Structure 1
Amino acid sequence: MKNLYIRTDEQAQWMEQIEKHKEEFLSEAQIADKQAIFPKKGAAILKKLGYPLITVPKKYGGQGLGTYDMVLIQETIAALDENLSLSLGWTLGVLGELYEKNLWEKEKLETFAEKTNKGIYINRAVSEAITGSPTRGGRPGTQAVRTETGWILNGRKTFTTASPVLDYYLVSAWIEEFKKVGFFLIPHHQQGLSLENTWNVMAMRGTRSDDLVLTDVKLQEEALVELPNHPRGKGINGWLLHIPANYLGIAQAARDYALHFASTYQPNSIQTVIAELPNVQHLLGEIELELEKARLVLYGVAAAYDDKNRRPLLTNEISVAKHTVTNAAINIVDKAMRVVGAKSLQLSNPLQRYYRNVRAGLHNPPMDDMTIQKLAITALQE
């Protein structure tokens, strides 16, 4: 990471802490991808470092860092283990939004802070096979029915990222009596809650985004933490920037590998390393250009979001950052593979992993088509 983007002592300290565990992250990343298992060792290291508290406000016992800090940390981790970064980034995003927007009642936020202070991993369980992406507005098939003492939930959630290490799930469910969707806080050990190993994919294999199955899950009344009439979703959510930060980290890792390869590889058909060849330099230059543009957009938007005076002026910038960075990252990995050539397709080569994993960014929210449409609508309205 260039010093240009490290602005505070806290950021520098996090970079140093991550660097100390660099080899552990790198080693587990290969195993996680090959065996499709969650990088639990890396998750344990980050929890010990206080990672789950990064985006929790200081008044609730957290570190109180902003979206810019989160982006910097996420990109750095992703360059070492993208499965780990994407998986646990959801905890940072969920907690950041939760406390910033006060999505729960004050008493519930304070009670939950006692749990977050111990260092927990949490994610929303929203996606379902029948709805497709939840960002497109489908009504969940998961049902919450009121009982004399609370609620009973039944349903199945897909894409439950980081499921093997989550301490809590925020589960969306349709509440018929309200004719609305509510979110329920459920601990991982809750009776009736189970995981089904359905994650059989070519990309982000280590995220273990398995199915969460809820069978007559009995909950107390207070488990409904986000009331159906809460104005959740109003305004932009800068905490989603953890997603493009992850793919920028992959792009950085691909760039570093290609640069090292070009600087050290010399076939016997030429008198120097391939980095001296004009066509290779052109590819490397294009990679640098794409990286600079993507990074300036991402960090620029994060800085604007953290500025309370500038935040109200933002409209589609979060979506633009995700679209720009993700597509640039895909392009960067492609060019890196062109530099390395056929060797990049070897299963022992990390570039083939980056190539598979970076494409997953297209399927993380917000989707490209929705971003483009919103830009058009905003322009027409203005």
Structure 2
Amino acid sequence: MTHARTPASALAKAPELARLFAEGAAAADRDGRLPVDNFRRLHESGLLQLVIRRDRGGLGGGLADAVRAVSTIAQGESATALILAMHYIQHGQIAIESGYWPQALADRLVRSSLERGALINAAYVEPVNGSLAHGAVPHTRARRVGDHWLLSGHKKYVTGIDGLSWLRTIGVTDEAEPRIGFFLVPADAPGIRVERTWNTLGMRSTSSEDVIFEDVRLPLENFFGDAPTAEGLRNSPFDGIWYLLLVAAVYHGIAQAARDDIVRFAREHAPGSLGAPLASLPRFQDAIGQIEVWQTAARRLLHSIGRDYDEAVSAGNADERLDGLAADASVARLAVIRDAIQVTSLALELAGNRGVSRDNAFERYHRDTLAARAHNPQAHLTRLNLGNRALGQKRVTPLRDGAAQADRIEALVP
């Protein structure tokens, strides 16, 4: 068990862990293999328990602490950081104690994380309907049989499945009046099958495979956050802010690793024809200066929004500030990922032939940041929502099962 007693003491261990994780990053990427041992070390360091409340046995860290941890770990190994981010999203929501998570389920998740480092992630996307952001009712169905549910369905891109203990998935009941909601599923439950489909350009070691549920037996109390299907899913309003900021923090960390490597390369590499390090060239000075602009702006944006969120929670007025914080987090995600891609692209270009060699990390950094574009919600949907917010209106996507329905615009102001 960890000796960390405060968020600061756990975070102080993150840089050394990142250096350790970096030693296996290239092999994990090459083999498309999740570096599961990294999570044992995260548990031992206290970082897995970072955002669990103190009165539950955790360290009591907030969103700003989570941003720092994720960004630092991403500098060493990107898949580990992404799965850590997804774990924090669920536990950060529990820590708010808004009544969204049933107490018994929250207690079980917290206890398993503290005792054995159990990881949790969401499993929402489906092969046919894709993401609920596009307005589809999930095909995953739950049949009630006596005192339990039998859950069946197919989910895609379940990040970290080879290391998870829990899945939070979305499904619809087979009742006369169907309900849509969340199911908490043990990842080792009978009836779960993993299909190896993850073969991508970047983030290759995230183990983001397909998961098939075939009559997975669950207690009735493992269904929560439910509403009539016609009303749509009841997402926790806090969920999105954690998700947007922590996903962005992953790619900021990868870009920071590229920044550090290109600075080191420029200082140390001295071509014979030049007779001096590349750092002496104005072209390199200018380009690395531009990287500093992108990375500094991204870091300040992520950390300031994280602090604003934590301050709002501490002051007890987070509900009042949710809309503004969510909009800021959406902007941060777009800007940070855009700049991370630019950082890794420029670093690769500056490194020349070494940049595209698999013997160096530059090309992996760039491939990993390009993969950021696949995360929901897609950039154009985020811009639409931000634009409509500025225009005093909102876009409403009705849930649908089959036939397409057009989005509608509702005015927020006269």
TM-score normalised by the shorter chain: which range applies?
A: over 0.9
Q: Residue 170 of structure 2: SS of its match in structure 1?
A: strand
Q: Is residue 2:36 matched to residue 1:40?
A: yes
**Gap change, CA 1:255 and 1:151, over 3 Å in 2:** same
Under a length normalisation based on structure 1, what TM-score does the superposition of the two structures give? 0.92
The CA deviation string for residues 275-318 of structure 1, in whole angstroms up to 9 with x for no partner, is: 11111111011000111111111111111111115743324111
Question: What residue is the counterpart of 2:371 in the other structure?
Answer: 360
Equivalent-residue separation in structure 1 for 2:227 and 2:108 (angstroms): 20
Equivalent-residue separation in structure 2 for 1:73 and 1:234 (angstroms): 23
Equivalent-residue separation in structure 2 for 1:210 and 1:170 (angstroms): 15
Question: One-letter code of the match for 2:354?
Answer: K
Question: What residue is the counterpart of 1:170 in the other structure?
Answer: 168
Q: Return the match for 2:101 from 82, 101, 104.
A: 104
Equivalent-residue separation in structure 2 for 1:246 and 1:323 (angstroms): 13
Q: Is residue 2:249 matched to residue 1:238?
A: no
Q: Return the match for 2:346 from 328, 335, 339.
A: 335
Q: Residue 21 of structure 1: SS of its match in structure 2?
A: helix
Equivalent-residue separation in structure 1 for 2:250 and 2:210 (angstroms): 23
Deviation of the 1:273 alpha carbon: 1.1
Deviates more, 1:222-231 or 1:129-138: 222-231
For residues 84-233 of structure 1, what are the structure 2 equivalents within 5 Å? 84-100=80-96, 101-118=98-115, 119-177=117-175, 178-228=177-227, 231-233=234-236
Deviation of the 1:16 alpha carbon: 3.0
Count of residue pairs brought into register by the alignment? 374
Question: One-letter code of the match for 1:25?
Answer: F
Equivalent-residue separation in structure 2 for 1:294 and 1:189 (angstroms): 38
Deviates more, 1:113-122 or 1:356-365: 113-122
Question: One-letter code of the match for 1:278?
Answer: P
Question: What residue is the counterpart of 1:5 in the other structure?
Answer: none
Deviation of the 1:170 alpha carbon: 1.1
Question: One-letter code of the match for 1:207?
Answer: T
Under a length normalisation based on structure 2, what TM-score does the superposition of the two structures give? 0.85
Deviates more, 1:294-303 or 1:44-53: 44-53
Deviation of the 1:113 alpha carbon: 3.3
Q: Is the 8 A contact 1:238 1:302 kept in 2?
A: no
Question: One-letter code of the match for 1:358?
Answer: T
Q: Return the match for 2:336 from 302, 305, 325.
A: 325
**Gap change, CA 1:144 and 1:234, over 3 Å in 2:** same
Name structure 1 gaps, 5 residues minimum: 1-8
Q: Residue 131 of structure 1: SS of its match in structure 2?
A: coil
For residues 257-336 of structure 1, what are the structure 2 equivalents within 5 Å? 257-308=261-312, 311=318, 312-313=320-321, 314=324, 315-336=326-347
Q: Is residue 2:69 matched to residue 1:66?
A: no
Equivalent-residue separation in structure 1 for 2:119 and 2:360 (angstroms): 31
Equivalent-residue separation in structure 2 for 1:40 and 1:235 (angstroms): 28
The CA deviation string for residues 338-377 of structure 1, in whole angstroms up to 9 with x for no partner, is: 2111210001110110110001111213321122111111
Equivalent-residue separation in structure 1 for 2:61 and 2:112 (angstroms): 19
Equivalent-residue separation in structure 2 for 1:111 and 1:64 (angstroms): 18
**Gap change, CA 1:138 and 1:148, over 3 Å in 2:** same
Q: Residue 389 of structure 2: SS of its match in structure 1?
A: helix
Name structure 2 gaps, 5 residues minimum: 393-412
Question: One-letter code of the match for 2:250?
Answer: N
Q: Is the 8 A contact 1:319 1:366 kept in 2?
A: no
Equivalent-residue separation in structure 1 for 2:60 and 2:79 (angstroms): 25
Q: Residue 266 of structure 1: SS of its match in structure 2?
A: coil
Deviates more, 1:200-209 or 1:229-238: 229-238
Equivalent-residue separation in structure 2 for 1:225 and 1:18 (angstroms): 34
Q: Residue 352 of structure 1: SS of its match in structure 2?
A: helix
Equivalent-residue separation in structure 2 for 1:366 and 1:171 (angstroms): 17
Deviation of the 1:19 alpha carbon: 3.2
Deviation of the 1:236 alpha carbon: 6.5
Q: Is residue 2:29 matched to residue 1:29?
A: no
**Gap change, CA 1:23 and 1:233, over 3 Å in 2:** closer
Equivalent-residue separation in structure 1 for 2:109 and 2:356 (angstroms): 46
Equivalent-residue separation in structure 2 for 1:112 and 1:347 (angstroms): 40
Equivalent-residue separation in structure 2 for 1:359 and 1:336 (angstroms): 14
Q: Residue 337 of structure 1: SS of its match in structure 2?
A: helix
Deviation of the 1:25 alpha carbon: 0.4
Identical pairs, percent:
28
Equivalent-residue separation in structure 2 for 1:339 and 1:11 (angstroms): 37
**Gap change, CA 1:10 and 1:335, over 3 Å in 2:** farther
Equivalent-residue separation in structure 1 for 2:89 and 2:372 (angstroms): 16
